[in-house]
């Protein structure tokens, strides 16, 4: 994925990534994202707090969204450099349509 983490990010943050699979590559992309999720949820990426890939419903199955949360910029860099993520980025099986960074809001105190 391209797009640098904003300079003002200093703690945990959320990433929203939206991809479109290349024609005929939707199932391959789904499999790759499942592989990346397994790696992200392993002890190899302890500071990847969540990596949740989603696929569009019938009629939109080439559309994918990933909701990710990282403890730090370093955790995100480690995730990007992992063998499975790096292979996906180089594969060209999808086009990155949108990449945004967010700060998660805390629950309201009563």
Give the chain's domains with CATH numbers.
Answer: 13-102 (3.30.70.100)
Measured in whole angstroms, how far is the alpha carbon of residue 69 from the centre of its chain? 8
Q: Is the pLDDT of residue 77 over 80?
A: yes
pTM of the model: 0.89
H or E, element range at 8: none
Which pair of structure tokens corresponds to residue 109?
A: 């105190």
Residue 5 pLDDT: 86
Mean pLDDT, residues 74-85: 95
Residue bearing the bigger pLDDT, 9 or 37? 37
Region 70-80: what's the mean pLDDT?
94
Q: What is the SS3 assignment for 91?
A: helix
Give the distance between the most distant pair of CA atoms in the chain.
51
Which tens digit of pLDDT belongs to each residue from 12-44? 999 999 999 999 999 999 999 999 999 999 999
Backbone angles phi, psi at 34, to 5 degrees: -65, -40
């Amino acid at each position: 994925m391209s797009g640098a983490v904003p300079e003002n990010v200093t703690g945990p943050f959320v990433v929203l990534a939206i991809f479109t699979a290349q024609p005929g590559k939707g199932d391959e992309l789904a499999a790759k994202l499942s592989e990346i999720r397994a790696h992200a949820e392993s002890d190899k990426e302890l500071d990847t707090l969540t990596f949740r890939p989603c696929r569009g419903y019938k009629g939109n199955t080439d559309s994918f969204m990933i909701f990710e949360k990282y403890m730090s910029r370093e955790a995100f860099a480690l995730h990007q450099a992992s063998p499975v993520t790096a292979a996906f980025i180089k594969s060209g099986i999808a086009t990155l349509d949108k990449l945004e960074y967010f700060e998660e809001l805390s629950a309201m105190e009563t």
